[in-house]
Structure 1
Amino acid sequence: MTGVPEWKPAIRVQPEPFDAAAEARRMTEGRKDLGALVSFVGLCRDEGGTLEALELEHYPGMAEEAIGAIAREAAERWPVAAITIIHRYGRIAPGEPIVVVLAASAHREAAFEAASFLMDFLKTRAPFWKKEHRRDAGPGDWVAAKASDDAAAGRWRPARGAK
Structure 2
Amino acid sequence: MIKLTKDPIQVDEVINSVYDDGAGAVDVFIGSVRNKTEKKKVVKLIFEAYEKMAISEMEKIAKKTMEKWPVCKLSIVHRIGTLNLGELPVVIAVSTPHRSDAFAACRFIIDTLKETVPIWKKEIFEDGEVWVAAHP
Q: What is the TM-score of this pair, normalised by structure 1?
A: 0.77
Rg larger in structure:
1
Moved over 3 A (4+): none
Residue 4 of structure 2: aligned partner: 13
Q: What secondary structure sits across from 1:37 in the alignment?
A: strand
The share of aligned pairs that are identical, in percent, is 33
Correspondence for 1:113: 104
TM-score (norm 2): 0.91
How far apart are residue 49 of structure 1 and its match? Answer: 6.3
- Separation in structure 2 between the aligned mates of residue 70 and residue 96 of structure 1, nearest angstrom: 24
Higher strand share: 2
Taking the aligned partners of 1:72 and 1:26, their CA distance within structure 2 comes to: 17
Equivalences for 1:6-155 in 2 at 5 Å? 10-28=1-19, 31-47=20-36, 48=39, 50-135=41-126, 138-147=127-136
**Higher RCO, 1 vs 2 (CA within 8 Å, ≥6 residues apart):** 2
Residues 27 and 94 in structure 2, CA contact (< 8 A), matched pair in contact too: yes
Relative to structure 1, is the Cα distance of residues 146 and 26 closer, same or farther in structure 2, using a 3 angstrom cutoff? closer
**Which whole-Å deviations, capped at 9, do the CAs of 1:50-109 have from their partners, x for residues lacking one?**
211110110111100011111110100000010100000100111111100101011111
Q: How many residues align?
A: 134
Give the whole-Å Cα distance in 2 for the aligned partners of 1:23 and 1:124.
Answer: 22
